Amino acid sequence: MCYPSRMTERESPFSPGKPVQADLFVGREDEIGEVIQFLRQCATGRNENIAISGERGFGKSSLALMAASFASRDLRFGVAYCQLTAASTTEEVCTLVAERLLAQLATDTMAQKAKTVFNRYIDHVSVGLFGTGLQVKFRPDPSLRIDLKLRFPELITETYLRLAPEIDGLMIVLDDLNGVVRDQTFANFLKGWVDGMVTSGHRAIPLAIVVVASEDKLGALTKSQPSVGRIFRPVVLHRLPKDKTESFFTKAFASANVSVEKRALRDLCYFSDGVPSIMHEVGDAAFWQNQDQSVSSEDAQVGIIKAAKIIGLKYVEPQVVSKIRSKSYRQIISAMAALPGRVFTRKQLLSSVPGDDKKQVDNLLVKLKALGVIHTTEETPGEYEFIHTLDRLYFRVISAEWKAPKTR
């Protein structure tokens, strides 16, 4: 027997944990315009380098993916979008970029032409899914990896020259630099690559290098090589203002023929903080909570609690709570979450924590600050703030669960 399913009859307009759909990319018009302007300038035959930065969940990758789509579709660029999560050395970055470039070129003919540039480094080649594109694996030989790094700028230039006039430029996106920023040579490599294009005496090729990273990771690059700051055009993403956040929720729900009550909209906006990734989590949870094509205040509140748990499990639980087994840390977290407001002082926290647990307060504050859960404010010494309101809510939820009697 086939039973009707609410999940199959409806489709959420939100996309938590995924890049944002173009029609819901609300409030970033200025940033999109900046990136497109730089790419159009690149298409005239010059090198452009862009750094997209912002806090966790601000839509950096979504903006970069949208820019890559524009470059490929409207500017006829060959695009290599590279997730560098697993890369910890400059050699690994160069290998990943070359592999992704060959795999993402528009046609098999283009990929085969580009392959000839990198032949000596390639271990094996297979046909991609559905018989299109190339899946390329480079040789793991360390000496070849080093040689690839040393010759990388000229190899990218040669790739463009082999593919022109089938393409009008190249775009290389380096997303998630968490590991490689610890390699002291990476910043020097970027600087040398860009400077080499300027000083080589040859005509510059239309190449856009786009770095996507949090501001602290970009800061680490600049600390390693101060000249990196002048190489990249900064595009900084901030929290969305209230009117843009309201517009996002209203537009998203309306696209699924769902209305949202005024109080519910207020709560959704408050707890999502103008952070796009949280907006999608909160909106999605509230969407599935409603049963009558109208999001009520109760739907929103239940959805917000569910979203807090989801975000906590994704971003906080694996790094913080799972490691905090001691009763002292849990007492401190419970006290922290119970303090009024998102901003608190060390003094307030100490006065709320019982007895010997006070000795662990500073250790926990250091851990939470390093993990991006809280940061110090500039106004008052010893003052801290939850970066995301939903993280504070998650601590309140998990604290209540710790205190709840265990049931068999």
More confident: 320 or 361: 361
Give the phi and the psi of residue 41 in degrees, each rounded to 5: -65, -40
The structural architecture, per CATH, of the domain 28-236 is 3-Layer(aba) Sandwich (3.40)
Cα(369)–Cα(124) distance, integer angstroms: 44
133 close to 108: Cβ distance less than 8 angstroms? yes
Q: Is the pLDDT of residue 140 over 70?
A: yes
The arithmetic mean of pLDDT across residues 37-49, rounded, is 95
Q: Is the pLDDT of residue 376 over 70?
A: yes
Banded pLDDT at 7 (limits 50, 70, 90): very low
CATH of 321-403, one of 1.10.1060.10, 1.10.10.10, 1.10.1740.10, 3.30.750.24: 1.10.10.10
The arithmetic mean of pLDDT across residues 119-132, rounded, is 75
Q: Which amino acid is at 143?
A: S
28-236 and 321-403: same fold?
A: no
Distance from the first to the final alpha carbon of the chain: 34
The arithmetic mean of pLDDT across residues 372-385, rounded, is 87
Provide the mean pLDDT of the chain.
Answer: 86
pLDDT of residue 173: 97
210 close to 61: Cβ distance less than 8 angstroms? no
229 CB contacts (<8 Å, ≥6 apart)? 222
List, for residues 337-346, the tens digit of each pLDDT value: 889 888 999 9
Banded pLDDT at 29 (limits 50, 70, 90): confident
Q: Is the pLDDT of residue 234 over 90?
A: yes
Cα(373)–Cα(369) distance, integer angstroms: 6
Q: What predicted TM-score, i.e. pTM, was given to this entire model?
A: 0.83
pLDDT of residue 5: 40
Q: Which amino acid is at 128?
A: G
Given the DSSP bridges, would you call strands 207-213 and 122-127 parallel, antiparallel or unpaired? unpaired
Going from N- to C-terminal start, the domains of the chain cover 6-15+240-316, 28-236, 321-403
Q: Is the pLDDT of residue 4 over 60?
A: no
Burial of 166 (0-12, 13-18, 19+ CB in 10 A): middle
Q: Is the pLDDT of residue 178 over 70?
A: yes
Assigned CATH class of 6-15+240-316: mainly alpha
The arithmetic mean of pLDDT across residues 46-55, rounded, is 93
% of the chain at pLDDT higher than 90 = 51
Angle between helices 276-289 and 389-403 (to 10 degrees): 50
261 close to 79: Cβ distance less than 8 angstroms? no
More confident: 99 or 55: 99
The arithmetic mean of pLDDT across residues 94-121, rounded, is 90
pLDDT of residue 128: 60
236 CB contacts (<8 Å, ≥6 apart)? 53, 54, 215
List, for residues 148-170, the tens digit of each pLDDT value: 999 999 999 999 999 998 999 99
Q: Which of 285, 340, 387 is nearest to 56 (CA)?
A: 387
Question: Which of 252-261, 271-280, 387-396 reaches the highest mean pLDDT?
Answer: 252-261
How far from chain centre, in Å, is Cα 145?
28
Cα(277)–Cα(12) distance, integer angstroms: 15
In sequence order, what are the beta bridge partners of 52? Answer: 212, 235
Q: Which of 36-50, 195-209, 351-365 has the lowest mean pLDDT?
A: 195-209
Rg (CA), the chain: 24
215 close to 234: Cβ distance less than 8 angstroms? no
